[in-house]
Amino acid sequence: MKNESYFAHPTAIIDEGCTIGTGTKIWHFSHIMSGCILGENCNIGQNVVISPDVVLGKNVKVQNNVSVYTGVTCGDDVFLGPSCVFTNVVNPRSAVNRRGQYARTHVGTGASVGANATIICGHDIGEYAFIGAGAVVTKDVPPYALSVGNPARRIGWMSRCGHRLEFGPDGMAVCPESGGRYKLENGKVICIDGL
Protein backbone atom coordinates (compact mmCIF):
# COMPACT_ATOMS: atom_id res chain seq x y z
CA MET A 1 0.00 0.00 0.00
CA LYS A 2 1.37 3.41 -0.93
CA ASN A 3 1.69 5.72 2.01
CA GLU A 4 4.30 8.31 2.83
CA SER A 5 4.52 7.58 6.56
CA TYR A 6 4.30 3.77 6.90
CA PHE A 7 4.80 0.64 4.78
CA ALA A 8 2.17 -2.02 4.07
CA HIS A 9 2.78 -5.06 1.90
CA PRO A 10 0.34 -5.27 -1.06
CA THR A 11 -1.33 -8.34 0.46
CA ALA A 12 -2.08 -6.60 3.77
CA ILE A 13 -5.64 -5.42 4.39
CA ILE A 14 -6.07 -2.13 6.23
CA ASP A 15 -9.64 -1.13 7.04
CA GLU A 16 -10.89 2.44 7.07
CA GLY A 17 -10.54 4.37 10.30
CA CYS A 18 -7.16 3.05 11.50
CA THR A 19 -4.39 5.23 12.84
CA ILE A 20 -0.94 3.98 11.85
CA GLY A 21 2.21 5.66 13.11
CA THR A 22 5.16 6.84 11.07
CA GLY A 23 7.73 4.17 10.30
CA THR A 24 5.41 1.25 11.00
CA LYS A 25 5.71 -1.82 8.74
CA ILE A 26 2.84 -4.21 8.03
CA TRP A 27 3.77 -7.45 6.29
CA HIS A 28 2.15 -10.17 4.15
CA PHE A 29 -1.50 -11.20 4.64
CA SER A 30 -2.03 -9.17 7.82
CA HIS A 31 -5.38 -7.53 8.61
CA ILE A 32 -5.52 -4.21 10.46
CA MET A 33 -9.15 -3.61 11.41
CA SER A 34 -11.10 -0.39 11.87
CA GLY A 35 -10.54 1.84 14.87
CA CYS A 36 -7.22 0.37 15.93
CA ILE A 37 -4.20 2.52 16.71
CA LEU A 38 -0.65 1.44 15.87
CA GLY A 39 2.11 3.66 17.23
CA GLU A 40 5.26 4.76 15.46
CA ASN A 41 7.87 2.22 14.31
CA CYS A 42 5.78 -0.88 14.97
CA ASN A 43 6.52 -4.06 13.03
CA ILE A 44 3.50 -6.24 12.21
CA GLY A 45 4.59 -9.67 10.91
CA GLN A 46 2.91 -12.01 8.44
CA ASN A 47 -0.66 -13.26 8.94
CA VAL A 48 -1.39 -11.02 11.93
CA VAL A 49 -4.87 -9.87 12.95
CA ILE A 50 -5.21 -6.59 14.83
CA SER A 51 -8.90 -6.34 15.76
CA PRO A 52 -11.02 -3.18 16.06
CA ASP A 53 -10.05 -0.68 18.76
CA VAL A 54 -6.79 -2.43 19.74
CA VAL A 55 -4.08 0.05 20.76
CA LEU A 56 -0.38 -0.64 20.27
CA GLY A 57 2.23 1.81 21.59
CA LYS A 58 5.45 2.81 19.84
CA ASN A 59 7.98 0.22 18.64
CA VAL A 60 5.72 -2.78 19.28
CA LYS A 61 6.91 -5.93 17.50
CA VAL A 62 4.17 -8.39 16.58
CA GLN A 63 5.61 -11.60 15.15
CA ASN A 64 3.95 -13.90 12.58
CA ASN A 65 0.53 -15.51 13.13
CA VAL A 66 -0.47 -13.41 16.16
CA SER A 67 -4.09 -12.55 16.97
CA VAL A 68 -4.62 -9.39 19.01
CA TYR A 69 -8.34 -9.09 19.75
CA THR A 70 -10.52 -6.16 20.77
CA GLY A 71 -9.94 -5.20 24.40
CA VAL A 72 -6.14 -5.43 24.24
CA THR A 73 -3.79 -2.48 24.67
CA CYS A 74 0.01 -2.58 24.64
CA GLY A 75 2.47 0.00 25.94
CA ASP A 76 5.64 1.01 24.11
CA ASP A 77 8.38 -1.52 23.22
CA VAL A 78 6.20 -4.62 23.69
CA PHE A 79 7.26 -7.88 21.99
CA LEU A 80 4.54 -10.36 20.98
CA GLY A 81 6.14 -13.67 19.94
CA PRO A 82 5.10 -15.89 17.03
CA SER A 83 1.62 -17.43 17.22
CA CYS A 84 0.75 -15.97 20.62
CA VAL A 85 -2.90 -15.16 21.09
CA PHE A 86 -5.11 -12.99 23.27
CA THR A 87 -8.68 -13.93 24.13
CA ASN A 88 -11.35 -11.33 24.83
CA VAL A 89 -14.37 -13.24 26.14
CA VAL A 90 -14.20 -15.38 29.29
CA ASN A 91 -16.99 -17.78 28.30
CA PRO A 92 -17.32 -17.85 24.50
CA ARG A 93 -20.18 -19.72 22.80
CA SER A 94 -20.89 -19.74 19.10
CA ALA A 95 -24.64 -19.35 19.65
CA VAL A 96 -24.32 -16.51 22.21
CA ASN A 97 -23.27 -13.05 21.02
CA ARG A 98 -20.99 -11.45 23.63
CA ARG A 99 -19.56 -8.61 21.54
CA GLY A 100 -20.36 -6.04 24.22
CA GLN A 101 -18.71 -8.10 26.96
CA TYR A 102 -15.04 -7.98 25.94
CA ALA A 103 -12.70 -8.10 28.91
CA ARG A 104 -9.73 -5.73 28.90
CA THR A 105 -6.08 -6.79 28.91
CA HIS A 106 -3.09 -4.44 29.08
CA VAL A 107 0.50 -5.41 28.28
CA GLY A 108 2.86 -2.99 30.00
CA THR A 109 5.79 -1.13 28.49
CA GLY A 110 8.74 -3.33 27.57
CA ALA A 111 6.99 -6.64 28.28
CA SER A 112 7.62 -9.76 26.15
CA VAL A 113 5.12 -12.52 25.38
CA GLY A 114 6.74 -15.74 24.13
CA ALA A 115 5.85 -17.88 21.12
CA ASN A 116 2.53 -19.76 21.35
CA ALA A 117 1.61 -18.17 24.69
CA THR A 118 -2.07 -17.58 25.42
CA ILE A 119 -3.23 -14.59 27.42
CA ILE A 120 -6.67 -15.18 28.94
CA CYS A 121 -8.59 -11.91 28.85
CA GLY A 122 -8.95 -9.59 31.81
CA HIS A 123 -5.41 -10.18 33.10
CA ASP A 124 -2.77 -7.48 32.82
CA ILE A 125 0.91 -8.07 32.17
CA GLY A 126 3.17 -5.67 34.06
CA GLU A 127 5.93 -3.59 32.53
CA TYR A 128 9.06 -5.53 31.52
CA ALA A 129 7.44 -8.85 32.46
CA PHE A 130 8.52 -11.89 30.45
CA ILE A 131 5.98 -14.58 29.52
CA GLY A 132 7.67 -17.82 28.46
CA ALA A 133 6.89 -19.70 25.25
CA GLY A 134 3.68 -21.73 25.47
CA ALA A 135 2.60 -20.22 28.80
CA VAL A 136 -1.09 -19.76 29.56
CA VAL A 137 -1.65 -16.58 31.56
CA THR A 138 -4.70 -16.91 33.83
CA LYS A 139 -4.00 -14.09 36.31
CA ASP A 140 -2.26 -10.72 36.46
CA VAL A 141 1.52 -10.79 35.99
CA PRO A 142 3.53 -8.28 38.07
CA PRO A 143 6.16 -5.99 36.56
CA TYR A 144 9.52 -7.68 35.83
CA ALA A 145 8.10 -11.17 36.52
CA LEU A 146 9.29 -14.23 34.59
CA SER A 147 6.21 -16.45 34.19
CA VAL A 148 6.09 -19.87 32.53
CA GLY A 149 3.87 -22.95 32.28
CA ASN A 150 0.16 -23.81 32.15
CA PRO A 151 -1.20 -22.15 34.11
CA ALA A 152 1.61 -19.60 34.11
CA ARG A 153 3.38 -19.06 37.41
CA ARG A 154 6.18 -16.71 38.37
CA ILE A 155 9.54 -18.47 38.62
CA GLY A 156 11.81 -15.42 38.80
CA TRP A 157 12.41 -11.85 37.77
CA MET A 158 13.79 -10.24 34.60
CA SER A 159 15.73 -7.04 33.87
CA ARG A 160 14.64 -4.46 31.32
CA CYS A 161 17.18 -5.98 28.91
CA GLY A 162 15.63 -9.44 29.30
CA HIS A 163 18.13 -11.12 31.64
CA ARG A 164 17.15 -13.19 34.64
CA LEU A 165 17.91 -11.34 37.86
CA GLU A 166 19.62 -13.05 40.78
CA PHE A 167 18.87 -11.22 44.02
CA GLY A 168 21.35 -11.33 46.89
CA PRO A 169 20.52 -11.42 50.62
CA ASP A 170 20.34 -7.61 50.53
CA GLY A 171 17.49 -7.80 47.98
CA MET A 172 19.66 -6.29 45.25
CA ALA A 173 20.44 -7.55 41.71
CA VAL A 174 22.39 -6.19 38.75
CA CYS A 175 21.55 -6.71 35.07
CA PRO A 176 24.59 -8.37 33.44
CA GLU A 177 24.06 -6.44 30.20
CA SER A 178 23.21 -2.90 31.26
CA GLY A 179 24.59 -2.80 34.79
CA GLY A 180 21.19 -1.52 35.94
CA ARG A 181 20.42 -2.13 39.60
CA TYR A 182 17.17 -3.68 40.85
CA LYS A 183 15.67 -4.03 44.31
CA LEU A 184 13.27 -6.76 45.44
CA GLU A 185 11.14 -5.64 48.34
CA ASN A 186 7.83 -7.01 49.60
CA GLY A 187 7.46 -9.20 46.51
CA LYS A 188 7.93 -6.31 44.08
CA VAL A 189 10.86 -5.38 41.86
CA ILE A 190 11.88 -1.80 41.19
CA CYS A 191 14.56 -0.57 38.83
CA ILE A 192 16.75 1.85 40.73
CA ASP A 193 18.61 3.59 37.92
CA GLY A 194 16.40 3.12 34.87
CA LEU A 195 18.66 0.67 33.02
Write the pLDDT tens digit of every residue in 50-74: 999 999 999 999 999 999 999 999 9
Average pLDDT, integer, range 84-90: 95
Handedness of CA 92, 94, 100, 104 (dihedral sign): positive
User: 1-158: CATH homologous superfamily?
Assistant: Hexapeptide repeat proteins (2.160.10.10)
pLDDT at 195: 75
**Percent of the chain residues topping a pLDDT of 90:** 95
Average pLDDT, integer, range 181-192: 97
151 upstream amide cis, omega within 30 of 0: yes
Give me the count of residues in the chain. 195
Write the pLDDT tens digit of every residue in 24-49: 999 999 999 999 999 999 999 999 99
Q: How confident is the model at residue 191 (pLDDT cuts 50, 70, 90)?
A: very high
pLDDT at 194: 79
pLDDT at 100: 85
60/112 Cα distance (integer angstroms): 10
134/73 Cα distance (integer angstroms): 21
Domain with CATH 2.160.10.10 in the chain: 1-158
Strands 49-50 and 67-68, by their bridges, are parallel
187/182 Cα distance (integer angstroms): 13
Q: Mean pLDDT, the chain, as a whole number?
A: 96
pLDDT at 3: 65
**Nearest Cα to 183, choosing from 163, 154, 170?**
170
Which residues in 15-111 belong to E strands, given as ranges?
Answer: 19-20, 25-26, 31-32, 37-38, 43-44, 49-50, 55-56, 61-62, 67-68, 72-74, 79-80, 85-86, 105-107
123: left (phi over 0), alpha (psi -120 to 50) or beta: beta
**pTM (two decimals):** 0.96
**Angle 176-134-20 (CA atoms, 0-180°, nearest 5)?**
80
Average pLDDT, integer, range 177-187: 97
Q: How confident is the model at residue 18 (pLDDT cuts 50, 70, 90)?
A: very high
Above 60 in pLDDT, residue 15? Answer: yes
For the beta carbon of residue 138, count every other beta carbon within 10 angstroms: 14
**Percent of the chain residues topping a pLDDT of 70:** 98
Average pLDDT, integer, range 117-132: 98
